[in-house]
């Protein structure tokens, strides 16, 4: 079934609340103060059952100038607006401001309802009708029908219901696929149930038991229960007015302006790129960095407007700009917003979000404006290419959908086209694919090749560049798992050769230069010459006239290539050949004599106690021998 939300708009005391009560039977003035003053202060909600049997949610918004921010919280998620104008007064100040807001939010479907027709003569009604049509020329409601009604006598109400029914039939349903997004317009507590939030579900679905994230506060909660139009449901979908009972959060932790989202699907931001229109009705030019009030979804945030190509914006002009906010805000590409002046408060402009997590731009730069134009109007291919070219990282399809603000189908087709054009490199990963710009991937390969070659020149005795060191120094923006996938792709493309913990240039064999090889043979000869009483490492270094850093490189090489075996002491190293020979001699002795003492080992190897004890302790660690009292036996 189609799910549509209808909203009212119009000047204070023009009969919006009474009209809704006549249509639905529900009095949306729920606060005592509203009853006493006879005006709506907060948002009101009701369910409208249409002649066809379809149902729609209806939002009653305040008309009084002092409560415009409450009106903005309700009008953002509507599909159809009822612009209410009293026939005895006609177009009034808040009528004009509400129409400006409808225009800025691009609510394109609407019906003009002339209320209180029972209070005026037919000639006056005809004049007001013409005045309204003239007033709406050039707005999104220029083609909206104008229908006189009386909420008191019921005249015109059946015709209005039929007209709404037809509009609901013709209104496209919101897409229920994709990530959850529900801006909160009310928060309250219900005894025995806890925190309840309400709002219009803008995208996706929400089900009982779902885990949700409350942004920008970054709270995690679970959905205990759901209601749509006062009925308990297991699932709500885009376009429905929804009440969500949340667990694990207090009423004080959530506020109007919060947004329920799929966990980790959005990031709040202090800066947004936008297309901004200053209304012709704005009283004066808008200067760069003017302080403003931003209304987006159900939130209100203070901020400043950075004009990117001028110092002042004249009424009626439209430009690219950045909004620098004083509080975090959750937004998506294409979201419509309204801006009011900081003081005095009045609606002066609005527009659409281009990038909800923008970086700070330099002003008066043509390339910045061109990039924003691509972000706003570019094809899926252009948007994907622009995003990947400007980001360091490997991205999944889901991350591209969120970043580019495109539908999954557009991302998929755009990726395929770019892959066919060899503009994107696809990196296979576990049950998914990672994407990176071909140019970025090529530059990474060049950087790695250069780093590996330089490392080889600086450390010719080492196996290769340590993988983890490379990631921490050059690729810290890529997690370890994805980094391994990247290295595998680079190896497949012949850029590097992967080893256990290092990487080297393709074709690397580990062969030493003639000079290094000669030095290794000489050092090993000195150690092997001592048989089971090898010289101390410091003595070998001194005799070969090596400085400490170079000596350490040779030592690491000899240990890594298993030419030497370290025996506890930093000075004591056996050649692997003689270490294995000593081990076999002891094993043979134990097979015949069952046990061996330290003294017997010393005599067997014709060595000293200095070397005997470390050897036996090493064999113990290898579980070749086991100490029993002062002797050793075979394990």
The per-residue pLDDT for range 98-116, each reduced to its tens digit, is 899 889 888 889 999 999 9
The per-residue pLDDT for range 369-404, each reduced to its tens digit, is 988 998 888 888 888 888 888 788 999 998 888 777
Residue 35 in this model has a pLDDT that exceeds 60: no
For residue 156, name the pLDDT band (cuts at 50, 70, 90).
very high
The per-residue pLDDT for range 453-497, each reduced to its tens digit, is 999 988 999 989 999 999 999 999 999 999 999 999 999 999 999
Query: What residues contact 171, with CB distance under 8 A and at least 6 apart?
Result: 2, 4, 79, 80, 109
For strand 595-597 and strand 631-634, is the pairing parallel, antiparallel, or unpaired?
antiparallel
Residue 237 sits at φ, ψ, to 5 deg, of: -135, 170
What are the DSSP calls for 351-401, one per residue?
Answer: EEEEETTPPPPPSS-HHHHHHHHHHHH--HHHHHHHHHHT--S-B-HHHHH
Going 225 to 227 to 233 to 237, the CA torsion angle's sign is: negative
User: Which long-range CB contacts under 8 A does 523-528 form with residues at least 24 apart?
Assistant: 523/554, 523/558, 524/558, 524/563, 524/564, 524/575, 527/564, 527/573, 527/574, 527/575, 528/575, 528/577, 528/578
The per-residue pLDDT for range 366-378, each reduced to its tens digit, is 999 988 998 888 8
Exposure of 420 by Cβ count < 10 A (0-12 exposed, 13-18 middle, 19+ buried)? exposed
Question: What is the mean predicted confidence (pLDDT) over 408-435?
Answer: 90
> What distance in Å separates the CA atoms of residue 543 and residue 553, rounded to the nearest whole number?
16
For residue 41, name the pLDDT band (cuts at 50, 70, 90).
very low
> What distance in Å separates the CA atoms of residue 167 and residue 456, rounded to the nearest whole number?
72
Q: What is the pLDDT of residue 2?
A: 65
Look up residue 500 and give its DSSP letter: S
Question: What is the mean predicted confidence (pLDDT) over 168-192?
Answer: 82
> What distance in Å separates the CA atoms of residue 236 and residue 125, rounded to the nearest whole number?
42
- Closest by CA to 81, choosing from 54, 99, 94, is 99
The beta strands (E) that lie in 44-174 are given as: 44-49, 55-60, 80-86, 110-115, 146-148
Half-sphere exposure of 564 (CA within 13 A, CB side): 25
pTM of the model: 0.68
SS3 for 561? coil
Structure tokens at 35: 């009853």
Distance of CA 441 to the CA centre of its chain: 23
Structure tokens at 388: 């990947």
CB atoms within 10 A of CB 620: 14
CB 487 within 8 A of CB 496: yes
CB 602 within 8 A of CB 612: yes
Angle between helices 16-24 and 157-170 (to 10 degrees): 80
Q: What is the pLDDT of residue 410?
A: 83
Distance of CA 342 to the CA centre of its chain: 30
User: Which long-range CB contacts under 8 A does 65-71 form with residues at least 24 apart?
Assistant: 65/12, 65/93, 65/94, 65/97, 67/40, 67/41, 68/94, 68/97, 68/101, 68/340, 68/345, 68/347, 69/293, 69/295, 69/300, 70/41, 70/42, 70/43, 71/9, 71/98, 71/101
Query: What is the enclosing helix (H) or strand (E) of 239?
Result: none
Domains of the chain: 4-170 (3.40.50.300), 181-261 (2.40.30.10), 269-369 (2.40.30.10), 378-511 (1.10.10.10), 514-634 (1.10.10.10)
- Closest by CA to 215, choosing from 94, 297, 101, is 297
> What distance in Å separates the CA atoms of residue 215 and residue 356, rounded to the nearest whole number?
14
**CA angle, 376 as apex, 371 and 380 as ends, to 5°?**
90
Q: Annotate 147-166 with b (16+ C-beta within 10 A) or e (fewer).
A: bbbbbeeeebbeebbebbbe
Q: What is the pLDDT of residue 67?
A: 39
Mean pLDDT of the chain: 88
Residue 72 in this model has a pLDDT that exceeds 60: no
Query: What residues contact 349, with CB distance under 8 A and at least 6 apart?
Result: 104, 276, 277, 278, 279, 282, 286, 338, 339
Determine the straight-line distance between the first and last CA of the chain, rounded to whole angstroms.
Answer: 77
For residue 39, name the pLDDT band (cuts at 50, 70, 90).
very low
Ramachandran class of 106: left when φ > 0, alpha when ψ lies in -120 to 50, beta otherwise: left
> What distance in Å separates the CA atoms of residue 443 and residue 440, rounded to the nearest whole number?
5
Distance of CA 424 to the CA centre of its chain: 21
Q: What is the pLDDT of residue 168?
A: 85
> What distance in Å separates the CA atoms of residue 411 and residue 401, rounded to the nearest whole number?
6
The per-residue pLDDT for range 214-266, each reduced to its tens digit, is 999 999 999 999 998 778 999 998 888 888 999 999 999 999 889 999 998 88
> What distance in Å separates the CA atoms of residue 76 and residue 102, rounded to the nearest whole number?
9
The beta strands (E) that lie in 525-578 are given as: 564-566, 573-575
Structure tokens at 23: 């249509």
Ramachandran class of 222: left when φ > 0, alpha when ψ lies in -120 to 50, beta otherwise: beta
CB 567 within 8 A of CB 573: yes
> What distance in Å separates the CA atoms of residue 209 and residue 221, rounded to the nearest whole number?
10
Question: What is the mean predicted confidence (pLDDT) over 409-426?
Answer: 90
Question: What is the mean predicted confidence (pLDDT) over 33-40?
Answer: 35
For strand 318-329 and strand 299-307, is the pairing parallel, antiparallel, or unpaired?
antiparallel
* Cα separations in angstroms, 331 against 283, 304, 336: 28, 17, 9
């Amino acid at each position: 079934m189609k799910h549509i939300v209808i909203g009212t708009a119009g000047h204070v005391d023009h009969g919006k609340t009474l009209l809704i009560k006549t249509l639905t039977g529900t009095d949306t003035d729920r606060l005592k103060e509203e009853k006493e003053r006879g005006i709506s202060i907060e948002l009101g909600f009701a369910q409208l059952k249409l002649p066809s049997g379809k149902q729609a949610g209806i939002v009653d918004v305040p008309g009084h100038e002092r409560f415009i921010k409450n009106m903005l919280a309700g009008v953002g998620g509507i599909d159809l607006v009822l612009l209410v104008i009293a026939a005895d007064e006609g177009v009034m100040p808040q009528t004009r401001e509400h129409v400006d807001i409808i225009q800025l939010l691009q609510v394109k479907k609407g019906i003009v309802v002339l209320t209180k027709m029972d209070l005026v003569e037919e000639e006056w009604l005809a004049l007001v009708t013409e005045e309204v049509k003239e007033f709406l020329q050039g707005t999104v409601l220029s083609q909206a029908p104008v229908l006189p009604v009386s909420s008191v006598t019921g005249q015109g109400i059946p015709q209005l219901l039929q007209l709404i029914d037809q509009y609901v039939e013709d209104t496209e349903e919101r897409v229920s696929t994709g990530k959850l997004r529900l801006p909160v317009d009310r928060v309250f507590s219900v005894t025995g149930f806890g925190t309840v939030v309400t709002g219009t579900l803008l995208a996706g679905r929400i089900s009982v038991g779902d885990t949700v994230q409350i942004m920008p506060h970054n709270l995690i909660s679970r959905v205990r229960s759901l209601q749509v139009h006062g009925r308990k449901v297991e699932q709500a979908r885009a376009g429905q007015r929804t009440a969500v009972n949340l667990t694990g959060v207090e009423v004080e932790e959530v506020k109007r302006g919060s947004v329920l989202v799929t966990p980790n699907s959005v990031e709040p931001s202090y800066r947004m790129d936008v297309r901004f229109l200053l209304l012709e009705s704005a009283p004066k030019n808008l200067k760069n960095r003017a302080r403003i009030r931003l209304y987006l979804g159900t939130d209100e945030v203070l901020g400043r407007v950075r004009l990117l190509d001028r110092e002042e914006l004249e009424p009626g002009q439209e430009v690219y700009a950045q909004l620098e906010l004083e509080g975090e805000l959750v937004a998506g590409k294409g979201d419509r917003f309204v801006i009011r002046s900081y003081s005095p408060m009045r609606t002066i402009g609005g527009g659409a979000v281009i990038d909800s997590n923008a970086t700070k731009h330099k002003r008066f730069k043509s390339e910045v404006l061109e990039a924003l134009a691509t972000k706003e109007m570019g094809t899926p291919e252009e948007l994907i290419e622009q995003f990947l070219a400007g980001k360091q990282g490997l991205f999944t399809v889901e991350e591209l959908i969120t970043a580019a603000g495109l539908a999954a189908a557009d991302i998929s087709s755009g990726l395929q086209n770019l892959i066919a054009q060899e503009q994107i490199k696809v990196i296979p990963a576990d049950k998914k694919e990672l994407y990176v710009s071909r140019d970025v991937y090529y530059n990474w390969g060049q950087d790695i090749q250069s780093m590996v070659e330089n490392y080889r020149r600086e450390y010719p005795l080492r196996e290769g560049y340590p993988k983890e060191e490379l990631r921490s120094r050059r690729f810290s923006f890529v997690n370890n798992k994805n980094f391994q996938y990247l290295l595998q792709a680079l190896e497949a493309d012949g850029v590097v050769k992967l080893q256990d913990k290092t990487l080297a240039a393709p074709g690397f064999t580990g062969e030493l230069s003639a000079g290094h090889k000669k030095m290794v043979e000489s050092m090993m000869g000195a150690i092997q010459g001592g048989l089971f009483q090898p010289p101390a490492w410091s003595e070998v270094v001194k005799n070969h006239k090596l400085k400490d850093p170079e000596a350490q490189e040779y030592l690491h090489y000899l240990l890594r290539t298993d030419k030497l075996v370290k025996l506890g002491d930093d000075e004591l190293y056996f050649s692997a050949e003689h270490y294995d020979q000593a081990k076999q001699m002891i094993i043979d002795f134990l097979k015949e004599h069952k046990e061996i003492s330290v003294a017997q080992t010393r005599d067997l190897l014709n060595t000293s106690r200095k070397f005997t004890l470390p050897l036996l302790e090493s064999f113990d660690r290898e579980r070749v021998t086991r100490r029993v009292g002062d002797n050793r036996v075979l394990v």
